[in-house]
Amino acid sequence: MAKKTLEPQQARSRESTRKLLKATAEVLGQHGLEGTTIPRIAQHAGLTPGAVYRRFPDKDALLEAVVIGILERQEQRLRLALTPDMVRQIPLAVFAEQLVSSMLVSYRANAGLLRALRQFSQERFHTPFCKRVAKLEMRTIQHLVELLLLHRNEVQHPDPPLALSFALMTLTSTLVELILADHDLKYWQAVIPKDDQSLKRELLRTFLGYLGIEQKDS
pLDDT tens per residue, range 118-140: 999 999 988 999 999 999 999 99
Cα-Cα end-to-end distance for the chain: 67
What's the length of the chain? Answer: 218
Q: What is the pLDDT of residue 5?
A: 52
Interval 52-65 mean pLDDT: 95
pLDDT of residue 217: 60
Residue 6 has pLDDT above 70, yes or no: no
**Euclidean distance between CA atoms 12 and 7, whole angstroms:** 9
Q: Which residues contact 81 (CB under 8 A, 6 or more apart)?
A: none
Per-residue pLDDT reduced to its tens digit, 75-107 = 999 999 999 999 999 999 999 999 999 999 999
Contact of 36 with 117, CB cutoff 8 Å: no
* pLDDT tens-digit readout, 28-53: 999 999 999 999 999 999 999 999 99
Extents of the domains making up the chain: 1-56, 58-211
Q: Is the pLDDT higher at 189 or at 111?
A: 111
Query: Looking at the domain that runs over 58-211, which CATH code has it been given?
Result: 1.10.357
More confidently predicted of 126 and 62: 62
d(CA 134, CA 144): 15
CB 147 within 8 A of CB 82: yes
From residue 161, alpha-carbon distances to 91, 113, 151, 167 in Å are 17, 31, 11, 10
Confidence band of 187 (pLDDT split at 50, 70, 90) = confident
Residue 15 in this model has a pLDDT that exceeds 90:
no
Q: Return the CATH fold of 1-56.
A: Arc Repressor Mutant, subunit A (1.10.10)
C-alpha distances in angstroms, 116 versus 30, 32, 107?
10, 5, 12
Do 7 and 52 touch, CB atoms closer than 8 A? no
Half-sphere exposure of 23 (CA within 13 A, CB side): 21
pLDDT value for 99? 95
- Residue 157's pLDDT is 94
Among 139, 144, 135, CA closest to 168:
144
Residue 4 has pLDDT above 60, yes or no: no
